[in-house]
Chains A and B, each alone.
Chain A
Amino acid sequence: MAEQTSNRLAIIALHGTMDLAYPPLILATAALALDMEAAIFFTFYGLEILKKGNADKLQVAPIANPAMPMPVPNIIGMLPGMTAMATGMMNGWMKKANVAKLSELLEMAVEGGVKLIACQMSMDVMGIKKEDLIDGIEVAGAASFLNFASQNAIALSF
């Protein structure tokens, strides 16, 4: 008997920082390449990834992030401009390693048919309107995500 396999990937994207925006988009686009279906549920700060023109503007947080390649003491990370500086450094490293931009991955996800769900409740809480978000997404709630995920999906949260 064949091993049981899953051909669905269901991801929750909760954060709006650059480093945490990458895994959902990389995994979802890679899933397409593996002939799998994928959905990403963007909730709370994760909605920042879907805001028009915003994907490449996401920042990394130097505060409480001792794993940064050049760790910044929290007291320094609090200073004005440190988030922008840490983001600039990270962007430089990403570019050097020729990693695709978040906007490019997002575009491939839309084109490839990844189900991108913006959480209605979070949008209401944070005052985000559908027209603030990129085209090719749907606005829905937990049931829509769970309906997709319940059909034998691998489920991950970032």
Chain B
Amino acid sequence: MSINPDQVLDCSGLACPMPILKTKKAVDSMALGQILKMIATDPGSTPDIEAWTQKTGHQLVETEQDGNKFIFYIKKTK
């Protein structure tokens, strides 16, 4: 993966709804166009981050899985 995140947020171990709450807070604090790397272990975060980006309009650039970790690259678009 060649994406270089501007910020990394580790939500490992957290259950719904904490990963999206923390993701929202992190993205709010970033500048337009920057990329957040978010790591979660909650399998529900895969559909939830997709839904979150769809609703908020931010862009889910890439997702990957590393063992039990789900990794999301989210670009702030607005």
Say whether A140 faces chain B, with CB atoms less than 8 Å apart.
no
Given the complex, which residues of A lie within 8 Å of B20, measured CB to CB?
A: 30, 33-34
In contact, B52 and A100 (Cβ under 8 angstroms) = no
For B14, give its contact among A26, A32, A98, A108 (CB under 8 Å).
Answer: A98
Tell me which residues from 2 to 23 in chain B have a Cβ below 8 Å from any Cβ of chain A: 13-18, 20-21, 23
For B15, give its contact among A29, A32, A34, A99 (CB under 8 Å).
Answer: A99
| Known interface pairs A33-B52, A35-B55; A98-B13 also in contact (CB < 8 Å) | yes
CB 8 Å contact bits of B51-70 with A (1 = contact, 0 = none): 01001100000000000000
In contact, B55 and A30 (Cβ under 8 angstroms) = no
Interface SS of B by simple majority? helix
Please count how many residues in chain B sit with their CB below 8 Å of the partner chain's CB atoms: 13
Please count how many residues in chain A sit with their CB below 8 Å of the partner chain's CB atoms: 13
Say whether A67 faces chain B, with CB atoms less than 8 Å apart.
no
Given the complex, which residues of B lie within 8 Å of A97, measured CB to CB?
A: 15
A100-B15 Cα distance, complex, nearest whole Å: 7
In contact, A29 and B21 (Cβ under 8 angstroms) = yes
CB-nearest residue of chain B to A5: B55
A103-B16 Cα distance, complex, nearest whole Å: 15
A39-B59 Cα distance, complex, nearest whole Å: 28
CB 8 Å contact bits of B1-45 with A (1 = contact, 0 = none): 000000000000111111011011000000000000000000000
For A100, give its contact among B18, B23, B24, B56 (CB under 8 Å).
Answer: B18
In the complex, which of the residues B13, B16, B17, B55 has the most CB atoms of chain A within 10 Å of its own CB atom? B17
In contact, B52 and A34 (Cβ under 8 angstroms) = yes
Given the complex, which residues of A lie within 8 Å of B55, measured CB to CB?
A: 34-36
In contact, A98 and B15 (Cβ under 8 angstroms) = yes
CB 8 Å contact bits of A10-44 with B (1 = contact, 0 = none): 00000000000000001001101111100000000
- Distance of A149 from chain B, by nearest CB (Å): 20
- Distance of A32 from chain B, by nearest CB (Å): 7
For B16, give its contact among A26, A32, A35 (CB under 8 Å).
Answer: A26
For B21, give its contact among A30, A36, A99 (CB under 8 Å).
Answer: A30
